[in-house]
Chains A and B, each alone.
Chain A
Amino acid sequence: MSLELKQYVKDALGRGADKDALRKTLVASGWAEDVVMKTLDQFVGVDAHGVPIPVPRMQAHQIARDIFLYLLSLVTLSMCAFALGGLLFELVNQQIPDRATDYYHNSHSINWAIAQLVVAFPVFTFLTRLLGRDIADHPEKRESLIRKLMIYLILVLTAVVSLGDLVTVLTTFLEGDLTLRFTLKALIVLGISMTIFLYYLVEVRRDDLLVRREAGANKS
């Protein structure tokens, strides 16, 4: 969408349109003001032949940087999700012991999960903040392919995990094996995957809303 807007602005500037008038027209027709401003800022002016001059940018560097940030946030998010799940499972095992399956307990799995959370969660938070600020500065990046790929990959994975979890719970229930211990673990898996799913679903909705006038009106 932003690419179309950029092309439109480029054409309009090429035909000699005034930047301020262009901004008013675009905002009036439903484009968010910050998106319009950022798009207009991508052109420094027109040359002697009336061709718009784009602002010099380092595209390849930007793309590589985004891939790095999004991949790292995906990895740290997975670490957090699995470590938190493992830690909560272990706590459930402690609270509701099962004589049939608990051969031995070990503090190692708890220590390992704590260490992963302590390392990965601050990094994930930092990366998410960094990407959020980047998107506030460059709203057109909401449309970047790497961002879309990562968000939809996370949505698919968490949706599959949630569905699988529900199917497993239902099967266990039908088999008559639904214990409190199992139910709690199923709830932990569902809780973690649905939290992540919801978080990124909101990101998708925000991406959609940003190019609409209402979102621009709400932003302040």
Chain B
Amino acid sequence: MTDQGNRQEGTLINRLPGVLWALSCLVIIGAIFAGLMQTGGPFEQRKFKMDARRVEDLNQLVFQIRDYYREHKTVPGTLTELPKAHAYRDKNFTLDPETNKSYKYRRLSGERFELCAVFSSDSKADRLRSDYRYSPNITEPTDFTHPAGHHCYVFRKEVEGNKDTVVFRNR
């Protein structure tokens, strides 16, 4: 090997680790930023979790109202009429996790009712959440997609199949 060749190799070899390190730095920082874009960052994720809690609560309330309907053949006048025994593990589904105020419930008729909540974020912004309740799958009786802020869902009675299985749909 010539002196010239060796010198070039020496320079390249001395520079390469720094170049590789800088390249790794760029890729890592870029990947972290892209990751944060996907998740929305810690504060957005907090909002998404609050909304997921609200959707879960509303979903449970719809089940409880359905059970109430099966027994009384009408939807309740207020949420307080729902039996406490239905509360799962002493959890009260009627309270918003953030404000601790009751969700708004309105009886529209014996077979229709309205449930409202104040959401922190748009459900479309939560890109990583592929919750079935947000899915466009029409066989699911409920669709809980929501904008940010106050939003109401109207549910109506439907009889499924040839049996008298009552469900409440909002689609």
* A and B together in one complex: yes
- Complex contacts, A214 vs chain B, CB 8 Å: 3, 6-7, 10
Chain B min CB distance to A28 (Å): 16
Given contacts A94-B127, A105-B129, A217-B7, contact A87 B32 (CB under 8 A): yes
Q: Is the CB of A84 within 8 A of B129?
A: no
Q: 1/0 per residue B20-51: CB within 8 Å of A? A: 11011101100110111011100001000000
B128 interface residue per 8 A CB criterion: yes
Considering the chains assembled together, what is the distance between the CA atoms of A125 and B29 in angstroms? 14
A215 interface residue per 8 A CB criterion: yes
- Complex contacts, B11 vs chain A, CB 8 Å: 218
Q: Is the CB of B17 within 8 A of A91?
A: no
Q: Is the CB of B20 within 8 A of A199?
A: yes
Interface residues on A, range: 35 or more
Q: 1/0 per residue A156-183: CB within 8 Å of B? A: 0000000000000000000000000000
Chain B min CB distance to A178 (Å): 24
Q: 1/0 per residue A128-142: CB within 8 Å of B? A: 100000000000000
Chain B min CB distance to A83 (Å): 9
Considering the chains assembled together, what is the distance between the CA atoms of A87 and B39 in angstroms? 12
Q: Is the CB of A110 within 8 A of B7?
A: no
Chain A min CB distance to B91 (Å): 23
Considering the chains assembled together, what is the distance between the CA atoms of A166 and B103 in angstroms? 56
- Per the CB 8 Å criterion, the residue count for chain B at the interface is 30
Q: Is the CB of A125 within 8 A of B21?
A: yes
Given contacts A199-B20, A209-B13, A214-B3, contact A110 B28 (CB under 8 A): no
The residues in A between 47 and 97 inclusive whose CB is less than 8 angstroms from any CB of B are 80, 84, 87-88, 90-91, 94
A145 interface residue per 8 A CB criterion: no
Considering the chains assembled together, what is the distance between the CA atoms of A150 and B139 in angstroms? 57
Considering the chains assembled together, what is the distance between the CA atoms of A80 and B35 in angstroms? 15
B16 interface residue per 8 A CB criterion: yes
Considering the chains assembled together, what is the distance between the CA atoms of A217 and B24 in angstroms? 30
A9 interface residue per 8 A CB criterion: no
B14 interface residue per 8 A CB criterion: yes
A106 interface residue per 8 A CB criterion: yes
- Complex contacts, B20 vs chain A, CB 8 Å: 195, 198-199, 202
A15 interface residue per 8 A CB criterion: no
Q: Is the CB of B130 within 8 A of A198?
A: no
Given contacts A214-B7, A214-B10, contact A114 B32 (CB under 8 A): yes
Q: Is the CB of A206 within 8 A of B32?
A: no
Chain B min CB distance to A101 (Å): 12
Chain A residues with CB under 8 Å of chain B are 80, 84, 87-88, 90-91, 94, 102-107, 110-111, 113-114, 117-118, 121, 125, 128, 195, 198-199, 202-203, 205-206, 209, 212, 214-215, 217-218
16 A-B residue pairs with CB within 8 Å = A84-B28, A87-B31, A87-B32, A103-B130, A105-B127, A107-B45, A110-B39, A128-B21, A199-B16, A199-B20, A202-B16, A205-B13, A206-B13, A212-B6, A214-B6, A215-B10
Closest 10 CB pairs of A and B: A218-B10, A214-B6, A107-B39, A105-B128, A110-B35, A107-B128, A87-B31, A199-B20, A202-B16, A114-B35
* Contacts A212-B6, A218-B11 supplied; 20 other A-B pairs, CB < 8 Å: A88-B31, A90-B38, A91-B31, A91-B35, A91-B38, A94-B127, A102-B130, A105-B129, A105-B130, A111-B35, A111-B39, A117-B32, A121-B24, A121-B25, A198-B16, A198-B20, A199-B17, A199-B21, A202-B20, A214-B6
